[in-house]
């Protein structure tokens, strides 16, 4: 049964009700937006940003200043008159306009959501990477996005995981030994008997058993040493400490029974024995 409105208050009630409804709808919209987006890590050329991106409906948005300062050489500021985020590097200029949802580099404009949250301008990572001549991809093992810049020597995902598995497996080993670990991983990528990417080789499981212990104990997720990053770069560039090795183990930590019984010994470098 409907209640009859008070004729002396009905107009005021409608006005207040309209404002209240608009407020509730706006709050609901903000809540839905907050729920739809979640924070995700982002790395550029193997270096993880100190701030998180936001993933919403399959698109990763990244703080414009953090991204460009990581790439280096960009002066980023907010143009309050134009209500636009601006970045300048030499003769190159980027503008990100929230009102138009566009990102422009030197006159080339791509459409994509641009928004400001808590004073931070967020831009879509993929189209920004494309404007800058790079690429962006989702890394399921990182559970975040990775950007490879135009001037990078190596794919960001490859460098990220190779440097980490080298560091976790051979932290404290000589550079030659760390490059050798990288050679094993890359050898597996090239072999028909293993997956064909660095990340899938690192995280491969055979009969439910991980191939690399650092994946099981979690040390693969630790920040790599500078030498490990250097070893990864050298291995990715084709430098080799050994040829053909697909397996290795440290006798001080493992008996290596299966490897000794089934694989051919190649050589020892540092604390690791390597096998074909």
CATH number for the domain spanning 234: value is 1.10.10.2520
Q: Which of 148, 176, 192 is the last residue of a domain?
A: 148
- What confidence score (pLDDT) does residue 228 get? 98
Residue 144 shares a structural domain with residue 165: no
Q: Which residues partner with 76 through β-bridges?
A: 87
Question: What pLDDT, in 10s, does the model give residues 148-183?
Answer: 999 899 999 999 999 999 999 999 999 999 999 999
Q: Which of 104, 121, 148 is the last residue of a domain?
A: 148
| Assigned domain for 233 exists | yes
Confidence (pTM): 0.84
Any residues with CB less than 8 A from the CB of 62 and at least 6 apart, and which? 42, 49, 53, 54, 122, 123, 124, 125, 128, 145
- Residue 136: both structure tokens together: 């962006």
Question: What pLDDT, in 10s, does the model give residues 132-149?
Answer: 999 999 999 999 999 999
Q: Which of 104, 130, 148 is the last residue of a domain?
A: 148
Residue 65: give the domain boundaries: 39-148
* DSSP H helix total and E strand total for the chain: 9, 19
Q: Which residues of the chain have pLDDT under 50?
A: 1-35
Residue 269 shares a structural domain with residue 170: yes
Query: What is the tally of structural domains in the chain?
Result: 2
DSSP string, 78-96: EETTTTEEEEEETTEEEEE
Residue 135 shares a structural domain with residue 204: no
Residue 228 shares a structural domain with residue 165: yes
């Amino acid at each position: 049964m409907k209640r009859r409105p008070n004729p002396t208050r009905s107009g005021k009630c409608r006005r207040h009700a309209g404002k209240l409804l608009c407020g509730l709808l706006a709050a609901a919209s903000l809540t839905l937006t907050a729920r739809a987006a979640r924070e995700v890590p982002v790395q550029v050329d193997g270096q993880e940003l100190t701030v998180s991106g936001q993933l919403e409906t399959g698109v990763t948005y990244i703080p414009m200043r953090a991204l460009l300062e990581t790439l280096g050489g960009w002066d980023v500021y907010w143009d309050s008159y134009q209500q636009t985020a601006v970045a300048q590097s030499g003769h190159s200029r980027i503008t990100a306009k929230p009102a138009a949802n566009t990102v422009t580099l030197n006159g080339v404009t791509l459409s994509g959501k641009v928004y400001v949250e808590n004073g931070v301008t967020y831009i879509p990572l993929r189209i920004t990477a494309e404007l800058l001549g790079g690429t962006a991809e989702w890394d399921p093992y990182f559970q975040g996005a990775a950007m490879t810049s135009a001037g990078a020597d190596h794919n960001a995902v490859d460098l990220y995981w190779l440097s980490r598995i080298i560091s976790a497996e051979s932290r404290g080993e000589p550079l030659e030994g760390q490059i050798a670990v990288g050679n094993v991983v890359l050898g597996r990528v090239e072999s028909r008997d293993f997956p064909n990417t660095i990340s899938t080789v690192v995280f491969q499981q055979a009969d439910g058993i991980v191939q690399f212990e650092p994946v099981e104990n979690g040390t693969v997720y630790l920040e790599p040493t500078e030498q490990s990053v250097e070893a990864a770069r050298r291995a990715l560039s084709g430098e080799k400490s050994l040829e053909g090795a697909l397996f290795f183990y440290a006798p001080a930590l493992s008996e290596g029974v299966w490897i000794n019984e089934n694989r051919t010994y190649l050589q020892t470098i540092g604390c690791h024995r390597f096998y074909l």
